[in-house]
Amino acid sequence: MQTRRTLVTLALGALIGGAAWGQEPIEIIVPAGAGSAPDIIARIVGDELSTRLKRPVVVNNRPGAGGIIAVMAAKSASNPDTLLLAQAAVVTVTPLTYRAAKYDLETDMEPVLSVADTPMMFVANAEHGPKTLADALAAARKDPGAVALTTTSRGSIPHLTAELLVQTTGAPFNIVPTATTGQGIQTVVGGEAAMTVNGVAPLLPLVKSGRLKGLAVTSAKVLPGLEGYPLAKDIVPGLQATGWFMLFAKKGTPSARVQQINQIVNTALQSPAVVEKLAKTANYPLGGSPADARAFLKQEKALWSGIVKNTDIHPE
């Protein structure tokens, strides 16, 4: 079962003495640009691997095409010590929404572990928007299509979280995907739309300043720093979604190597310093075994494939 900050009991000395590594630096490919959350998390992982294994680690940013460029680069890399640090949408949604995405990371690579995640947050205009998520549902049902709910671009985790709300409740919100995160948020700050949903990182400062009102958070439990906000699943059963980051090794990587990487990163996720670094990007440590990662991946693929099939999203 997926757990947070899984306790690791194996000694690192024994782990580091495991499978022999090649001569090339360890490469972590990231489907996002420098300074992004995936990049920051990959560098945290890379620093820990470099320290524990005493080997150089290089982070290779390969943004674009919904993550396809990075995934294909990782799959075809000649360096056997190539890893992929990919976000949820790249792993589960891109294969459903891009015809060129000829991959299934559950079988095409080796899931190592879930590293971290961040919940989505529903927010409203502080003055004129609904005061609670229940109020928003009531307003949408009273006047179908009148309550605008903006999100980031079509097929993103925020967009699909909005669709999850609609498909779970039947409430006829007017979902409006926008070109950028900032645009979707600004429509609500400016009063053009009643609500938006996105990751907590861009929303929380505006909520704390009083420009937006936090309605609900989509995590499984109350998380540090989010204690004052209701859990969406307590209002709408099943309304739970996060943007997560998973580490993959190349297909055929020896199980001893996969386990070695897994244990090193698991240990790092228990470090207060690493937890603090993740918190700066509004992410929370996960962890667990490779088997946990596979089970979680199956669960997430089933969730988002079901939402996409019931949404007017066609492969590009």
Query: What's the longest Cα–Cα distance across the chain?
Result: 65
CATH of 12-117+241-309 among 3.40.190.10, 3.40.50.10860, 3.40.190.150, 3.40.640.10: 3.40.190.150
Q: pLDDT category, 314, cuts 50, 70, 90?
A: confident
Write out the H or E segment, with its range, that includes residue 277.
Answer: helix 272-279
Same topology, domains 12-117+241-309 and 119-235? Answer is yes
| All structural domains of the chain with their residue ranges | 12-117+241-309, 119-235
For residue 120, which of 232, 33, 225 has the smallest C-alpha distance?
Answer: 232
Look at residue 18 in the predicted model and tell me its pLDDT: 52
Contact (CB, 8 A) for 70 and 30:
yes
Reply yes or no on whether the pLDDT at 14 is more than 50.
no
Q: If you classify domain 119-235 with CATH, what class do you get?
A: alpha beta
Q: What is the pTM of this model?
A: 0.92
pLDDT tens figures, 185-196: 999 999 999 999
Residue indicated by tokens 């439990």:
221
Look at residue 192 in the predicted model and tell me its pLDDT: 95
